[in-house]
C-alpha cells in the first residue's frame, strides 16, 4: 500500500507522463485480475457445482471470445467517455450483454450441455462473478478514499 501511495503521489505531482503510464498499468492489471476471476469462477462452478472435470487451461482458452468482446467494448467506451459520458455507460452495458451471450456460447461449446442447463450455468457464473466484483469494490472503497484524500490538495 505504501508503494502504491508513493507511485500515485509521484505520478500525479511531479510527472504527468509517469502518472499516465501508472494508470495504464493499473488498468491492464485490473482487467487481468477480473478475467482471471471469471476463469476461476467458471472452473469452480464446472467442477464442483456441475460435476464436470475440465482443466483450468481448457476453460481459459474457451473463454477468450468473452474477454475479447469485453475488452473491445471497454475500449469503445473509453473513446466516447470525453464526449458523452452516458454514451460510454451505455456502451459498457452493451458490452456486458455481448459478453454474456459470448459466455453462453463458449460454455455451450465447451460443455455440450442442453440449452437450459447451459443457460443456468452462464447465469450462475455471471451472478457469482458480479457479486465478487461488488464485494471487492466495497472492500477497496475505503482504501481508495484514503488514497484520494492524501493525493489531492484541498
Q: Is the pLDDT of residue 102 over 90?
A: yes
pLDDT at position 154 is: 47
Q: What is the pLDDT of residue 14?
A: 60
Distance CA 99, CA 78 (A): 17
Q: Is 109:62 a contact under the CB 8 Å cutoff?
A: yes
Q: pLDDT tens-digit profile of 44-97?
A: 999 998 888 899 999 999 999 999 999 999 888 888 877 788 888 899 899 999
**Is the CB of residue 39 less than 8 Å from the CB of residue 70?**
no
pLDDT at 89: 87
| Dist CA 63 CA 68 (whole Å) | 9
pLDDT band of residue 1 (cuts 50, 70, 90) is very low
112-150 pLDDT tens trace? 899 999 999 999 999 999 999 999 889 888 877 777 676
pLDDT one-digit tens code per residue, 6-30? 555 544 556 667 666 777 777 788 8
Amino acid at each position: 500500500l505504501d508503494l502504491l501511495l508513493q507511485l500515485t503521489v509521484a505520478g500525479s505531482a511531479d510527472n504527468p507522463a509517469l502518472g499516465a503510464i501508472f494508470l495504464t498499468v493499473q488498468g491492464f492489471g485490473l482487467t487481468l485480475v477480473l478475467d482471471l476471476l471469471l476463469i476461476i469462477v467458471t472452473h469452480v462452478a464446472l467442477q464442483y457445482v456441475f460435476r464436470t472435470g475440465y482443466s483450468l487451461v481448457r476453460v481459459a482458452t474457451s473463454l477468450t471470445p468473452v474477454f475479447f468482446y469485453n475488452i473491445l467494448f471497454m475500449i469503445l467506451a473509453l473513446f466516447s467517455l470525453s464526449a458523452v459520458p452516458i454514451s460510454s455507460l451505455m456502451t459498457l452495458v452493451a458490452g456486458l450483454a455481448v459478453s454474456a451471450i459470448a459466455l453462453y456460447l463458449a460454455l455451450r461449446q465447451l460443455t455440450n450441455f442442453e440449452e437450459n442447463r447451459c443457460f443456468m450455468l452462464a447465469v450462475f457464473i455471471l451472478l457469482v462473478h458480479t457479486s465478487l466484483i461488488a464485494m471487492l469494490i466495497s472492500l477497496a472503497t475505503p482504501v481508495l478514499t484514503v488514497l484520494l484524500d492524501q493525493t489531492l490538495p484541498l
